Amino acid sequence: MTDSADGPTLRVSVAGAADRDSLDAVRDRAERTAVVETGSTGAPSGPYAYVTVDGRTALYAAVTDSTLERLVDACEEGSLPTAEAEAVTDGDGPPRPTEGPLSVGTRRVLEGCGWHAPTASPDPVAPEVRADPERAFETVEEIGLLGRGRADAAADEPLAESWGRIRETDGDPVLVVNAADADPEAHADRLLCASAAGRLYDAADAVAAVVGAEDVIVLAPAEDPLVVERLEAAGEWHVVAAEDDFRLGEPTMALERLEGNDRIEARRRPPGPEEWGLYGRPTAVHTPRTLLQAAEFWRNPEAFDADTADPGTRLVSVGGDVAAPTTIELPTDVPLSRALSAVDSPANARFAVGGRFGGLTRSLDVPVAAPALSAAGLGTEGVVEVLGPDRCIVASVGERAAFAREENCGRCVPCREGSKQLHEALRAVYDGEFDAGEIRELSRVMATTSLCTFGETAARPVRTALEDFEGEFRAHADGRCPAGACGGMQ
Ligand code: SF4
């Protein structure tokens, strides 16, 4: 399916019911203008609109109903109003402004977001991959493409290894698209589902061909009906809407949810989902980010460098204490600090890198590549949470420890008991008892002996905070909050 049109075209990003009402009003006004509903670009200042007239395209940010009326009237007259445009191009594709979030990084996976209709799949890769899945597998093996996101069973590991195990396992393979990660600051996968569901379907179709899967199942966030609607409209796959649950970001717990189990627990590995997955079938569990990165590689292999440890690009969502969260795409060899160009970040900010259980740091001077982030003790979830100077680091890690204590599945002792002890050790700081050695040892045990990534990463916030902010813990033990913001831990 494509969304091309020959005459004047007005593309409007729709992120909710109100935006759709605005779009419908414009459609009623248009006679010769093609009005295309698109998804978000990933940038704030929405809704965005693109107007194309006679091969020239202009981009408009934060459009109101009256702006849309003016734009469609101009389209009807065959003119392109450029005075209020953010950017204009004579070429194909969406123009990029020279400043603001849309100017930051590279836009390959994100390029169609806000430009193509969400269910469109221009330039599909699946037909070519289906024609020679063996070659498609070999090229991914040669380039060393890694999985993306904690909800992916091959997170930060070579996709070809995961696919190879599936191909070698007897059974009826299935592909699960895990789009239900409920980390509050991780927006990339939902953005891709909402804005590029058609391209995602094509990418999943291609990967299904490589692993020999006949079925594709999507685990989608139920609380976002627009995402579910667009996924269902994108193709012939089975979309399962799941309630908001951080644990579904653990691939085997996502499988438990799909099997309808009341009590969601992580599964022991080995065997991994590749050998024993959904109902015992060989199962590929991938995030939308992974699937679209693989599709982008097959579409444009010369843009990927096999000599890097993490070929391709990474999507990074920047949120927290910023005016408006945004999601951008960065090459893996640039410093993560580049992401701050997309937002208004407060001075003297600190950062949680990698989502709820990410690492806390003062510096983003580390490459975006997953191996570099891991080596720095940070998370690879593609999330930078900005913590302003009036945020208390000790309270922040305490909240994350409390979440781990409440939300772990309870299956293994290191995580279940460790998260309790961790929370207690942090609360004791407020009573003047700070034992950095005890906290570090607890963190080490949880990281090395927990059954799944939930427990492996749950103590990362406090462990990394002790590296960069130990003085703040000591200050709290002395009854003082350096940020002047701390009301204590719950
Ligand atoms: S690490 Fe935590 S979430 Fe994972 S199985 Fe153990 S108790 Fe459950």
Classify domain 393-477 at the CATH topology level. Answer: de novo design (two linked rop proteins) (1.20.1440)
- Note the pLDDT tens digit of each residue in 182-210: 888 899 999 999 999 999 999 999 999 99
Give yes or no for residue 446 CB within 6 A of ligand 1: no
CB neighbour class for 171 (10 Å; exposed up to 12, middle 13-18, buried from 19): middle
Please state the atom number of ligand 1 nearest to the C-alpha of residue 412.
6
Among the listed ranges 119-133, 172-186, 447-461, 473-487, which one has the minimum average pLDDT value? 473-487
Closest C-alpha residue for ligand 1 atom 8: 409
Q: What pLDDT does 220 receive?
A: 97
CA distances from 396 to 80, 347, 352, 460 (A): 49, 18, 10, 12
Q: Which of 411, 417, 421 to mutate to test the pocket of ligand 1 (most atoms within 8 A of CB)?
A: 411
CA of 155 to the centre of ligand 1 (A): 17
Buried/exposed code over 425-462 (b: 16+ C-beta within 10 A; e: otherwise): bbbbbbeeebeeeebeebbebbbeebbbbbbbbbbbbb
For residue 84, is pLDDT > 50? yes
Q: What pLDDT does 262 receive?
A: 85
Give yes or no for residue 450 CB within 6 A of ligand 1: yes
Query: In the structure encoding, which two tokens stand for residue 485, read together?
Result: 């913001």
Q: Which of 357, 409, 445 to mutate to test the pocket of ligand 1 (most atoms within 8 A of CB)?
A: 409
Q: So where are the chain's domains?
A: 9-103, 126-301, 313-387, 393-477
Q: Which CATH number fits domain 313-387: 3.30.930.10, 3.10.20.600, 3.30.300.30, 1.10.10.10?
A: 3.10.20.600
Residues 6+ apart with CB under 8 A from 257: 180, 219, 242, 245, 248, 264
Give yes or no for residue 412 CB within 6 A of ligand 1: yes
Full DSSP string of 318-381:
EEESSSS-EEEEEETTSBGGGGGGGS-PPTT-EEEESSTT-EEES---SBSSHHHHHHTT---S
Average pLDDT estimate for 438-467: 97
- Note the pLDDT tens digit of each residue in 344-368: 999 999 999 999 999 999 999 999 9
Average pLDDT estimate for 70-89: 95
The whole-chain average pLDDT of the chain stands at 94
Taking alpha carbons only, the member of 451, 471, 448 closest to residue 460 is 448
Please state the atom number of ligand 1 nearest to the C-alpha of residue 410.
7
Taking alpha carbons only, the member of 168, 208, 465, 156 closest to residue 314 is 156
Closest C-alpha residue for ligand 1 atom 6: 412
Portion of the chain with pLDDT greater than 70, in percent: 98
Query: In the structure encoding, which two tokens stand for residue 11, read together?
Result: 């593309």
For residue 1, is pLDDT > 50? no
CA of 369 to the centre of ligand 1 (A): 27
Q: What pLDDT does 2 receive?
A: 42
Q: What is the CATH number of domain 9-103?
A: 3.40.30
Tally Cβ neighbours within 10 Å of residue 134.
9
CA of 134 to the centre of ligand 1 (A): 36
Number of helices (H) and strands (E) in the chain: give both, helices first.
Answer: 16, 14
Q: What pLDDT does 300 receive?
A: 97
Among the listed ranges 40-54, 197-211, 275-289, 377-391, which one has the minimum average pLDDT value? 40-54
Q: Are strands 313-320 and 326-331 parallel, antiparallel or unpaired?
A: antiparallel
Average pLDDT estimate for 318-323: 95
Task: For 126-301, give the CATH class.
Answer: alpha beta
Query: In the structure encoding, which two tokens stand for residue 396, read together?
Result: 């922040």
Residues paired with 330 in a beta bridge: 314
Phi, psi of 219 (to 5 degrees): -95, 115
**Is 35 in a helix, a strand, or coil?**
strand
What angle, 0 to 180 degrees and rounded to 10, lies between the N-to-C axes of helices 393-407 and 413-429?
A: 150
**Is 241 in a helix, a strand, or coil?**
strand
For residue 486, is pLDDT > 80? no
| CA-based max dimension of the chain | 73
Phi, psi of 146 (to 5 degrees): -105, 155
Please state the atom number of ligand 1 nearest to the C-alpha of residue 456.
1
CA of 357 to the centre of ligand 1 (A): 14
Q: How confident is the model at residue 92 (pLDDT cuts 50, 70, 90)?
A: confident
CA of 448 to the centre of ligand 1 (A): 12
**Neighbouring C-alpha atoms within 13 Å toward the C-beta of 332:** 23
Q: Are strands 283-286 and 174-178 parallel, antiparallel or unpaired?
A: parallel
Edge to edge, what strands does the sheet with 56-60 contain?
Answer: 34-38, 9-13, 49-53, 56-60, 87-89
- In the block, residue with structure tokens 């570099």: 372
Higher per-residue pLDDT: 484 or 27: 27
Taking alpha carbons only, the member of 233, 32, 286 closest to residue 117 is 233
